[in-house]
Structure 1
Amino acid sequence: MNEPDRQPGPKPAGAVEGGAGEPEHKVGKLARQIARQLGDDSYSPTMITGLTRLFEVIGLSLCGIAVFTFYVVPKSGFEAYYLFTIAAGALFAFLLLQLCDAYQVQSLRSVFRTLPKVFLCWTITFAVMTAVAFFLKVGAEYSRVWFGSWFLAGMLFLFAYRYFIAFAIRRWARDGTMERRAVIVGGGAAAEQLIRALEQQPDNDVRICGIFDDRSERRSPAVVAGYPKLGNVSELVEFARLARIDMLILSLPLTAEKRVMELLKKLWVLPVDIRLAAHSSELRFRPRAYSSIGSVRMLDIFDRPINDWDSVAKRIFDIVFSLLGIIVFSPVMLATAIAVKATSKGPIIFTQKRHGFNNEVINVYKFRSMYADQSDPTARNAVTKNDPRVTPVGRFIRRTSIDELPQFFNALKGDLSLVGPRPHAVHAQSHDRMFAEVVDGYFARHRVKPGVTGWAQINGWRGEIDDDEKIKQRTAYDLYYIENWSLLFDLKILFLTPVRLFGSEAAY
C-alpha cells in the first residue's frame, strides 16, 4: 500500500502542467465560465425515482403504524403480527406500482393522469390482503377499523405525496437539481439535428452544456442550434474535469469508425456516460445496446462506473467499515503515534498530495516514517531499500502497512474509498517519464475514487515503481477492478488485504 514519492521531470514543450501531472489543454474563457456554473453535482432521475420508491414504502408503513399505535394498542395491546402485515402490504403495493410503471419520471410528473393507476394498485393490495386473511382464517385477529383506516390514510398519503413529487420534479427540472448534463461531441448539421430531436422530447431531462469539435468553423459553425462551440476535443477533457458532466454524446455517423475510435481513445478516461447518437442511423443492434431519451436512440459505448445507487451503497460501505477500522485499530494507531513521536522529532502525521477522483488533487494522511528534516512531501525521491531517511520505526510500519492506517480518516471524509485504485503521488514517474506517458489510458484509473487498498496491491503490485512493467501491471489490475466492481468484490479485497500485505517485502 506504500507508494513511491517522485520528483517531477521536465514538461513537454508547450505543455502546461495540470493538477494531475498531465499536459493540460487550457479551455477558453467561455468554457471556463460555463464550467464554473456547472461545478455542483446534480441528482440523476435514477436517484430521484429511487428515493421516491423508498419514501413511499416508508410513508405507507407509517400510515398503518400510526393507526395501529393510536387505535389498536390502547384497546388490544401490542400485537407484533400487525407490523408484519403492514410491512408486507406496503411492499406489495410498491411491487404493483413498479409493475405499472408508476415510478417512471413521466408518470411522476403527470400526477392526475397517474392517480387512477395508484388508486387501483392500493385497492388491489387490500383486496389481496383480505383474500389471504380469509383463506388463512385469520381475519378475526385484525381490527376492521384499523384495516379500513389504514386504507383511507394510505390513499390520502399517496395522493398528497404524488402531488408533492410532481411539483418538486417540475421545480428541480427548472433549477437544474434533477438533470443529466450532456456535451455534444461533433458539430455541424448532425449536431443540429440531434439537438432539435432532443428538444422536442416532452420528458427530456438532458441539459446540453455546449459543443466540442476539432473541425474548423467552415465545417463546424461556432454556434449550432443556439449552443456555442466551446473548444476542441482535447479541451473537452479538461472541461469535463472542471464541470460536473454526466454524459458525452458523439454526434457522428456510425460508419465513421476511425474517427469514433480516435475520439473514444481520448474520452474514455473520463468518469461519464459516453453515447453515440443513433437516431438517424439505419443500422440496428440488440435492444440492450441502446438507451433512449424519449424517442431519440443512443448507442451505449461506456457507462460511468459505480454510478447512482451503486455509489450510495459504496459510500455507506466506506463509512461503516472506516468507523469499524478506526475502532478496531485504535490501539495500534495510538501505539504507533507514541512510537513515532518518541523516536524522532517532528509531526506524527505526514500529508502528501495525490491524485483523487477525476484527477482532483487530495491530501492523503500517513504516519510519518521518515526523519522530519528529510521527509519528502513534494515527492522528490523514491524511497528505496535500506533508505537512510527512513526511521527504524518507519521501516517497520511501512513494511507492515501500519503507516497507512490514518487513511481510514480519509475514507471517512470521502477523499478516498476503502477499496479502489491506490492514489499515486502527483508527480509520480517511471524512469523520468510520467505514468501517463508509460501507460496508454493511465488516467482511466481516476474514473472512480481511489482506495486505501486495492486489487493491484493484494496481487503483489505495490511499493517502488522502478520499471515500466510495474506501472503497466498495476494499471491493468486497477482497470479490471473498475470494470468488475461489486460490493462483494470490495469485501474480498478488504479482508484479503491484511493477509496479503502484512510483512510484504515490496515496501520499504
Structure 2
Amino acid sequence: MKRGMAESYNRLVNVFVIACDTCIVGGLFHRFYHWAQDTAWEKTLQASEFQIVATLMLCYLLCAMHTGVILYRRKVFAYEVLTRVAKNVVFFAILGGGILQLGGYMDAWSKLFLAYLLAVLVCVSVFRLGLRMLIKAYRTKGGNLRFVVLVGSADNNRELYQELTSQSWAGYRVLGYFDFEPNGNFPQECPYLGKPQEVTDYLKKHGNTHFLFCCLPSKDREVIMPIIDYCENNLVHFYSVPNVHNYLQNRMYFNMMGNVPYLSLRQDPLSRLGNKILKRTFDIVFSLCFLCTLFIPILIIVTIITKITMPGPIFFKQKRNGLNDKEFYCYKFRSMKVNADADKVQATKDDPRKTKWGNIMRKTSIDELPQFINVLKGDMSVVGPRPHMLKHTEEYSKLINKYMVRHFVKPGITGWSQVTGYRGETKELKDMEGRIRGDIWYIEHWSFGLDLYIIYKTVANAVHGEKNAY
C-alpha cells in the first residue's frame, strides 16, 4: 500500500468496524424484541421496535466514535481489543439505557436489557477479534507492509529492531541500518547500509520507505537536519529515538506539557480525570451495595461467633500507608486474640495468636470485608495494591527498589499481586519483591476491565480457598 493511502486505510477500517458494530447492535435487539413477544418480558417494552432499535444504534454509534477502534494498529494485542470493547459497551449501557428509561421506551433495569448487553459484548468482541485475525493473516502473508530504515545502532535502536520484527503480523520490514561504522552487536539479519550522510541518497533510490527511526545524539545535528528535511518533503515519517539506555533501562513514555516534550518512567492511567471518576464511582456503588446487603448478615454471624470464641472487640483497626504514603486506619474483623504484636508481626501459617474461627475467616477472606467501609470513606479502593503496616513500609522501602511507587494509587481490598500468587506471609525478601513488581504492573496497566477480572479471581479464590491465606 502506498504511503499516501495509509491514513485513508485506517479511516476506512475504523468506519467499517463501527458500522458493522452498529449493525450488530441493531440486529441483536431485533432478535431480542421478537423473542420477548408473548413472554413476561414483553411488558418491559413500551415503544415500537423501530424506535428502540434506532435509539440504541444511534447511542452505540456515538459511544463507538468516542472510544474509537484500535484493532488495525500494528502492535495491538487481543486483551487491548477486548478492553476497548468492554469500555465501549459500558458507555453504551449508560447512555442507551438512560435514554430508554427516561424516554419511557423500555425498562432498562430488566433482565431482558441485561441479557441484550451481554450479547452485545460477546458478539462485538467476537467480531473484532475475528477481524483482527484476518488483518494479522493478511500482513503475515506480505500485505499492507511498512518498510523501515534505522539511523544509529545504539541500544534503543537495537531493541526497536526486535520490537519491529518479533511479530510478523505487525507488518514491519526493516531494510537495514545506518551508522558511522558497522556495529558488531547489531543483529546480523539487519544489513549495514552505510554512513548517516548517505541516508538521503538511499531514500531517493528506495522510494518505498515509510518510517525512519533516528537515535543519533544531538551533537550530530548537522547530519540529522538534512535527513529530517528530506523526510518531511518526501512523505517519510521521521521519528527521533532518545538514547537513554546508558543510564536508564526501563520503558519510558512520551508526554507534552504545552509545547515542551518530556519522557516519563511509566504510564499512569489513573492520573487521568476520567479514569479517576470511573474508578471512584465504581468503588462507591460497589461498596454501598455490599454494605447495605450482604455485609449485614455477615456482620451478625461474625459478631455472634467471635463473641462466643474469643473475648474482645469485633473489629480490629490498624494504621497502614495509603495514597501518597498517607496513614489511615484499616478495618478488619478481628481474627486473633488481643495481643501487643498486632502492629509489628505479620501473621504466619501456624500463628498461635489465631483462633480456629479466625483461621476460617482468613481462609475465606471474610476478615477483610470491613474494608469496604474504608472504600466508602475514600481511604481505599476495591482493587489496588494491598496496604502494608507502617513498620513494613518503613523496612521494605529501604530494602526494595521502587517500593514506594505502589503508593501512587489508593490501596485495595484485593489486588493483582494477591490473585497471582503473592498473597499472605512474605517469608523471604524475594516474596515481597514479587508482590511489588505485581503492584507496579497493575498501576501501569490499569483498566476497568482489569479491575473486574481481579474481583472475579478474588471471589473464585475465596470459594476454592487459598493456601497462602493465613
Q: Normalization by structure 1: what TM-score? A: 0.43
Hey, which of these two has a bigger chunk of helix by percent? 2
